[in-house]
């Protein structure tokens, strides 16, 4: 089961976050900071799956954006890895070469609707 979905830039700023389980705002901030630190500090030669506390992190980097998905121990990492890629392909088709700016604007539009 997916616990959360994050889109983060190279500076560690969260551009999009979606939680599928209730997490208090203060705990979200701490969780995001730790998750971002863990993923951004890894080299490109290292695996994109990270064991973290009681769940796993699956992440992919696309240019200046990192997409991080938190999953429970029973979820298939490769399926989530492919899900991230499919998500980015959809964004790329919709925006014609997706960028961090596009993500920021689309999040703003969604919140305004």
The enclosing domain of 11 has a CATH number of 3.30.450.60
**In which band, very low, low, confident or very high, does the pLDDT at 108 lie, cut at 50, 70 and 90?**
very low
- What pLDDT shows up at residue 91? 77
Q: Domain count for the chain, please give it.
A: 1
- The helix or strand, by DSSP H or E, that contains position 112, with its residue range, turns out to be helix 100-112
d(CA 83, CA 85): 5
Please tell me whether residue 21 adopts helix, strand or coil conformation. Answer: coil
Average pLDDT (88-110) is 64
**By residue range, what is the domain housing residue 13?**
2-112
**In which band, very low, low, confident or very high, does the pLDDT at 110 lie, cut at 50, 70 and 90?**
very low
The model's pTM: 0.81
Nearest residue to 6 (alpha-carbon basis) of 81, 65, 77? 65
């Amino acid at each position: 089961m997916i616990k959360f979905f994050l889109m983060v830039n190279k500076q560690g700023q969260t551009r999009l976050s979606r939680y599928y389980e209730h997490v208090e705002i203060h705990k979200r901030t701490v969780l995001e900071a730790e998750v971002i630190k863990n993923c951004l500090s890894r080299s490109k030669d290292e695996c994109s799956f990270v064991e973290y506390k009681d769940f796993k992190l699956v992440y992919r980097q696309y240019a200046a954006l990192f997409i991080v998905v938190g999953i429970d121990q029973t979820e298939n990492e490769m399926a989530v890895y492919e899900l991230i890629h499919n998500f980015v392909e959809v964004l790329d088709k919709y925006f014609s070469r997706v960028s961090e700016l596009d993500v920021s604007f689309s999040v703003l539009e969604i919140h305004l609707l």
